[in-house]
Amino acid sequence: MQIFYTDVLCIGAGLAGERVAVEAAMAGFETICLSIVPPRRSHSSAAQGGMQAALGNAIMGDGDSPDIHFQDTVKGSDWGADQEVARIFADTAPIVMREVAHWGVPWNRVVAGTHTYYKGGKPFEAEEKKEKHGLIHARAFGGTAKWRTCYTADGTGRSVLNTLDSKCLQYGVTIHDRTQAEILIHDGENCLGCIARCMRTGELRAYFATATLIATGGYGRCYSATTNAVICDGGGQICALDTGLVPMGNMEAVQFHPTGTVPTDILVTEGCRGDGGTLLDVNEHRFMPDYEPEKAELASRDVVSRRMTEHMRKGLGVKSPYGDHLWLDIRHLGVKHITTKLREVYDICTNFLGVNPIDQLIPVRPTQHYSMGGVRTNRDGAAYGLKGLYAAGEAACWDMHGFNRLGGNSLAETVVAGRYIGKQIVKYLKGASVNFTSAALRDAETKLNERIEDIVSGRKGGENALELRAEMRETMMENVFIFRNGKDLQKAVDTLEELHDRANRIALQSNIPGFNPEMSTALRLQGMIKLCQCTAYGALQRTESRGAHTREDFPERNDKDWLNRTLAYWKEGSNMPTLKYEDASPYYELPPGERGYGGGKIIPNELPKKKFEVPKESLENLKEAKSKG
Amino acid sequence: MNRKLHLKVFRYNPDDPKSQPRMESFHITEYDSMTLFIALTQIRDEMDPTLKVDFCCRAGICGSCGMVINGRPGLACHTQTKDLPNEITLHPLPVFKLLGDLSVDTGTWFRGVGTKIESWVHSNDAAFDPADEEMRMENEVAEQIFELDRCIECGCCIAACGTARMREDFLGAASINRIARFYIDPRDQRSEDDYYDVIGNDQGVFGCMGLLGCEDVCPKHIPLQDQLGIMRRMLTLNSVKGILPKAVINALKHKGCCHEKH
């Protein structure tokens, strides 16, 4: 087996992975990124809308500040977020947006003078200030008090990814694309890298690294209807969970996006609603103001998704061969706006739906979109349980999103966390000395080879990986979707446990020399089922409704019992996760309260006074995060 | 409705000494809104799990699934079967190294040319000050840059290029487009001489035969030919700048060109 040695190993080369890689490489450390696809094909490339940062340049963002951004983020999270992390995020986001601008991102800019914008289908006028001309502009997104989302038309992910990938090239980051991490190498205390499979040849390779980062995105492909790319199968989380030492945080927190298209489940950006698009029902009636008079289409995603589902349950959805859906109307925005600022949307509608959004309605319904949960890390992005292991981006539960993240906050998180965590990794590397033991490598290799042998030889049984995958996805769609209840969740937990057991007996249908795509699925599947089990079991235990986690049988947000984060561990040889809990936040700069949208009752918690004080150490850390160093 | 589709798919496994390049037939039933992504996924899930074909976003944004569809390079994910005849022939993209069946190695190819053309904004990173406001830019310029930055490196333009088929070292339309992107970017400090060193040769703009295949097949409708023309003119004018009077050069530079350096 070929062995590579490096200072930093980034598993995943989307925005978060590449931003960390750039930080490490700029500090002079050798860095390797592993990626299933060439980096520019990462799922980050599909992000359309934009990145939230309180620059306050746009007139509709006038007076914005990191404080307001922090408050919106915590409210959006339904107080599930780690407030120290949300604070680091909100305060450094403007710096990071300027930094990527310096590196080449062509952000849309403020044009002085009057322009027309739409809200709730009606035109309004705004006048941009002369002194802000040429600075980074922003658009509206859901759940925000100000226009705060920096954007490049509706190709923000693409343009930022191009820039970061360029930076990787410039600073000599080594990219091993078509390489899939399969198992972490560790000695029980330190993470030492991973063993990966080459997707060109099928060969295994070992990567020894002083610091290992997991940045593999979400696990949306556990659901049958998801906006996620086909590579979003939770590979990184699985590697971490399989160690038995690293917990997943808040896996039950899964976000459903209001505007997945029907039938292809491709996302059309929240920018559509931000720019003034409206949601209509079968009678072409705009229903959102009936439920949310103030925020309407721009309440947070969990709220809009639930209201849409509620409305369809009343029989007001549009019937189609693919099930009920609603309409998204952007016709009033006009040809120019749609073909420039929403061109990706225009392309998606015309290419995939046969709908021209300039004069036709777009069929949409809530679709699985984002995993707030993931590898649980501390403030510095360091994973619980193993030293030298880090996680960033959607793969992580750094936890600025809590139980619901706001649109534009995840894309911003990738680069903001990437920069901040990258700096923490550099600090760690400067003091680290790691022993790359052959015993640790052998241990991982034996485990992985055994798994591969089982699958190739079929010695444990003849289960078909693709069939199991379909059953897993259906179980999640039916029982762990937007509205949840004890009965369905229990059913999911039971079914998934069965699938877990059957996944031990997967056999290949055909074995071919070299790389075999079926092998990728087969190797992945039990891990995916484990992630589903963490999600379903965590959701069953959490007897309250918070953010995107909505229990019909427990409609209150219960701060008294559930102002906490679920940690799901997987003990070796077990059929089920083990759950533990920790406080949602080390302190509450913003005391738990109402979000101002979505309604719902709150069962309050009497927190000790000390919980409302920001520790000195946190303030100092924040100061350092904003400095040049 | 519900046509029976006959997909003829190129098969070859370079890792298997016994494998011979061949065409293999698959028959599936078409349904509404079916794309080649759906059809090929169905084939892989239900008929042959060993089929090598690349998909990622399945939404025309990532560029993974470039292939030759009935003789023409395109993205499989946003090709609807209703726009094709009953018989659909699929080949891997030429020029790139074949990894097996319909899968080719575009990653290595694009990384190679990216290094050659130094595909990054050449500016001073150390000059960035976190306390300072961003450098201002005209929105129009930002939009022009993004217009070219939308390239997804699917490789269709390279596969459709006569020159790229004949000479291995040709940079191709996607790379020239990227140079054009840096050329209009006020943050990039490279001079015209610097650009000349990179693309002022047969591997770059002067190797193009002007067949226009690149722009014809570009799934993102990027104006690739315009960029080539603009880069050629810039380099040509640059090479005669000591010969023709400055006023003439400037007049020519601006003539009909929306992409001059800002």
pLDDT at A629: 65
Q: Is the ipTM of this complex over 0.85?
A: yes
Angle at B119 between CA B183 and CA B259, to 5 degrees: 15
- A73 sits in which H/E element: helix A66-76
Quick check: A40 and B187 CB within 8 A? Answer: no
CA dihedral (B205, B206, B207, B208) positive or negative: positive
**Contact A260/A205 with Cβ under 8 angstroms?**
no
Which residue is listed with tokens 């054009």?
B180
Average pLDDT over residues A394-421: 97
Average pLDDT over residues A467-491: 97
Instruction: Retrieve residue A421's tokens.
Output: 């965590």
Quick check: A153 and B143 CB within 8 A? Answer: yes
Quick check: A98 and B133 CB within 8 A? Answer: yes
Average pLDDT over residues A327-340: 95
pLDDT at B33: 81
Q: Which of B13, B50, B61 sits opposite A158 (nearest CB)?
A: B61
- Return mean pLDDT, chain A: 96
pLDDT tens across A608-627, in order? 999 999 999 999 999 999 98
Which residue is listed with tokens 């006020």?
B186
CA atoms within 13 A on the CB side of B194: 14
Size of interface A-B (CB pairs under 8 A): 206
pLDDT tens across A584-594, in order? 999 999 999 99
Quick check: A518 and B13 CB within 8 A? Answer: no
Give the start-to-end residue ranges of the domains of chain B.
4-91, 104-122+134-254
Catalytic residue, chosen from A19, A87, A221, A257, is A257
Q: Is the backbone of residue A202 left (phi > 0), alpha (psi -120 to 50) or beta?
A: left
pLDDT at B246: 83
* C-alpha to C-alpha distance for A228 and A524, rounded to whole angstroms: 17
Residues 375-414, chain A: which have Cβ within 8 Å of B?
none
pLDDT tens across A561-602, in order? 999 999 999 999 999 999 999 999 999 999 999 998 888 899
At the topology level, CATH places domain B104-122+134-254 in Fumarate Reductase Iron-sulfur Protein; Chain B, domain 2 (1.10.1060)
pLDDT over 80 at B255, yes or no: no
Q: Are strands A550-551 and A483-484 parallel, antiparallel or unpaired?
A: parallel
Partners of residue B49 in chain A, C-beta under 8 Å: 466, 509-510, 516-518, 521
pLDDT at B261: 47
Say what percent of chain A tops pLDDT 90. 94
**Contact A260/A225 with Cβ under 8 angstroms?**
yes
Average pLDDT over residues B67-93: 96
Quick check: B50 and A516 CB within 8 A? Answer: yes
Domain B4-91 grouped into CATH 3.10.20.30: yes
Q: Which of A101, A229, A267 sits opposite B62 (nearest CB)?
A: A229
pLDDT tens across A81-132, in order? 999 999 999 999 999 999 999 999 999 999 999 999 998 888 999 999 999 9
pTM: 0.96
pLDDT at B262: 42
* C-alpha to C-alpha distance for A68 and A62, rounded to whole angstroms: 12
Angle at A214 between CA A213 and CA A216, to 5 degrees: 140
A337 is annotated as an active-site residue = no
* C-alpha to C-alpha distance for A386 and A612, rounded to whole angstroms: 30
pLDDT at B238: 85
pLDDT-derived band at A209 (thresholds 50, 70, 90) equals: very high
